[in-house]
Homo-oligomer: A and B are copies of this chain.
Amino acid sequence: MENFNYYAPTRVVFGKGTELRTGELVRECGCRKVLVHYGSGSVKKSGLLDRICEALENAGVEYVSLGGVVPNPRLSLVYEGIALCKKESVDFILAVGGGSVIDSAKAIGYGVANEGDVWDFYARKRKAEGCLPLGVVLTIAAAGSEMSDSSVITNEEGWIKRGYSSNYVRPKFAVMNPELTMTLPAYQTESGCVDIMMHTMERYLNQADNMELTDGFSEHLIRTVMRNAKILLEHPRDYDARAEVMWAGSLSHNGLTGCGTDGGDWASHQLEHELGGMYDVAHGAGLAAVWGSWARYVMDARPERFARFAVRVMGVEETKDPLETAEKGIEAMEEFYRSIEMPTNLKELGIEPTEEEIRELARKCSFDGGRTIGCVKKLDQEDIYQIYMQAR
């Protein structure tokens, strides 16, 4: 098993009515002025934003607001947020929303705390040396950004989606009331469930001799999300199912399911990032659309691991040939994806890229051939092209 670091300092306040504690939580962070950052009008319409602002006022905390974050959050709004924070001397960012809003808040935080262009970090030109402190009121269970060290931003110049990770952006607190996710449309709910599962699957399907403790946690987490994703398709207002999925979302990406592993594969995420950047698809749905093709392309490099996944997570009966078991596990997962109305290829995702466009996706995903992605099998530009082609 590998040495590892684990660091998940976010204070989680979980359950019904917890959003009313936001004011006191911000005040305890000792800040003077807050940027309240959010997405579309849904948090306005629902009255959540008003409740949050009232909680801030009751706690004697000053704030300014910036809405307009979209899925696959954009660099232009990040720049706007940075300028606003500097003008208003903001020293704390409160993200009210899902992964896109939190990631946008993280990028703004980097931009305020560091000189120069914030995109440099995402373009891997240099490293950040700090970030404004952040807090979260979570409204979508999916990205796990409320406890994670990562953020993903899309640069409209070239429609490039890139992630950057550092411990500076781990939120100080995360308020999680599962009731706030109940009105989410089914497609977004299920897309979120796939994202949550994939954060653990990326870590689980790897090249390491894993810890027994971590493997069992991971298997249980994925199975729990699958079971509750099905419940939510029929009963979107089931509090317990919403709560299971919401807490799984945080634990799936806060590092817990990576302990003792080699860090995981993450090729599926890289493959999806190009789709998200170019076609603006829902992240979880994009992951579901490429995962099967990726898994079949790499499984012969680690057949026992894929076979274990098939048996322990998908409930497939073990056969003598691990590759056969592995293939059955992949089929079972694709069947599950279909059962929760998620795509298993690009066409079902709603996009039909030409061969030329797929060459372009592969070129961008491999940084013009300058990098490989994944660890189960290291994938170069040609491998990436093949996987996209098989995913059509």
Contacts and interface: CB of A to CB of B under 8 A. Distances in A.
Contacts of A9: 8-9, 11
B260 A247 contact: yes
A4 B14 contact: yes
A240 to B, nearest CB: 6
B7 A248 contact: no
A315 interface: no
B6 A240 contact: no
A378 interface: no
A244 B212 contact: yes
Contacts of A240: 1, 211-212
Interface stretch (A37-45, A214-222, A278-286): A214-222
A213 B7 CA distance: 21
A12 B212 CA distance: 18
Interface string A208-244: 0001110011001101100110000000000010011
Interface in A1-45: 1-18
Interface in A54-98: none
Contacts of A248: 213
Contacts of A13: 5
A142 interface: no
Nearest to A173: B7
Interface residues of A, number: 38
Contacts of A330: none
B5 A14 contact: yes
B3 A14 contact: yes
Contacts of A14: 3-6, 259-260
Among A5, A13, A221, A248: residue with most chain B CB under 10 A: A5
A299 B7 CA distance: 38
A251 interface: yes
Contacts of A12: 4-7
Given A224-B216, A259-B14, A243 B6 contact: no
Interface in A177-229: 211-213, 216-217, 220-221, 223-224, 227-228
A213 B251 contact: yes
Contacts of A228: 212
A178 to B, nearest CB: 9
A286 B123 CA distance: 57
A223 B223 CA distance: 18
A240 B227 CA distance: 32
A78 to B, nearest CB: 27
Interface string A126-157: 00000000000000000000000000000000
B224 A220 contact: no
Contacts of A220: 213, 216-217, 220
A226 to B, nearest CB: 12
Given A7-B11, A8-B8, A247-B259, 8 more contacts: A3-B16, A4-B14, A6-B14, A7-B10, A211-B240, A212-B228, A247-B260, A256-B256
23 contacts: A1-B240, A1-B243, A3-B16, A3-B18, A4-B14, A4-B15, A5-B11, A5-B13, A5-B14, A6-B12, A9-B9, A9-B11, A211-B243, A211-B247, A213-B248, A213-B251, A216-B220, A216-B223, A220-B220, A243-B260, A247-B259, A247-B260, A256-B256
* Top-6 shortest CB links A-B: A3-B15, A9-B9, A216-B220, A6-B12, A7-B11, A213-B224
